[in-house]
Amino acid sequence: MRLAELSRRSGVATATIKFYLREGLLPAGRRVSSTQAEYDEEHLRRLQLVRALIQVGGISVAAAREVLTAVDDSSVDQVSRMGTAVAALPQPLPGPAADDPGAATADRVAREVQERLGWRVVPENPAHQALVSAISALLRLGYPCDGAALLPYGELAGRLAEHELSLVEEFAAPTTQLEAAVALTVLYEPVLLSLRRLAQAEQATRRLRDGIPPR
């Protein structure tokens, strides 16, 4: 298809598509004349992923490029590609500051919850570092936060991950699976957070208005 059709089918303006092409977020089309190029379904899928990352995920062009480079890196195995691509997504929090006095305790709690769940601890995963920061903040503010308090969150996260990896496996090609893993990670974060807010409102209303005792 030509650029105009790619724009129509994706809902992305041609000027934006040209910007993504220049920035290397979208591979060049197949040249059919000095002024025209031909695009295929793969370009359409990649364009939708770029839009998800940038428009929904609020991810910078530089971070999106890093994610896509990992997705396309066929020199390493599928697990490493997925790990690198997802790790290149912006984290919920930066890792703990070098002078954070609570980081060591928070790191112990982060390890404890993962060990209790039977997960391998990979301290260099930026998500582990983000978890350490979050735990350190909770402890500093005097909120209870030990391995036991985090266990329900970890168990639920584990069930979501099983569900999500099953969705990803429904895509046939390795690269399409990686694209889906990245897209679902980004797109389901606001789903999860907004449902949690709605659930809290529902619970608060039930408990405080109707006097339903806590279970």
As measured in angstroms, the least distance from the Cβ of 69 to a second copy is: 18
As measured in angstroms, the least distance from the Cβ of 146 to a second copy is: 12
As measured in angstroms, the least distance from the Cβ of 33 to a second copy is: 30
Nearest residue (CB) to a second copy, 32 versus 148: 148
As measured in angstroms, the least distance from the Cβ of 117 to a second copy is: 8
Cβ atoms of residues 164 and 67 within 8 Å: no
Please tell me the distance from the alpha carbon of residue 75 to that of residue 187, in angstroms, as a whole number: 27
Nearest residue (CB) to a second copy, 21 versus 82: 82
As measured in angstroms, the least distance from the Cβ of 25 to a second copy is: 15
Q: Quote the tokens at residue 201.
A: 């409102």
As measured in angstroms, the least distance from the Cβ of 36 to a second copy is: 26
Nearest residue (CB) to a second copy, 79 versus 98: 79
**Considering just the CA atoms, what is the radius of gyration of the chain in Å?**
21
Nearest residue (CB) to a second copy, 37 versus 134: 134
One-letter amino acid at 111 equals R
Cβ atoms of residues 23 and 61 within 8 Å: yes
Nearest residue (CB) to a second copy, 37 versus 176: 176
> How far are the Cα atoms of 20, 23, 53, 54, 180 from residue 62, in angstroms, in the given order?
11, 9, 11, 10, 20
3-state secondary structure at position 48: helix
211 Cβ contact partners less than 8 Å away, ≥ 6 residues apart: none
Nearest residue (CB) to a second copy, 36 versus 194: 194
Angle between helices 61-72 and 41-51 (to 10 degrees): 140
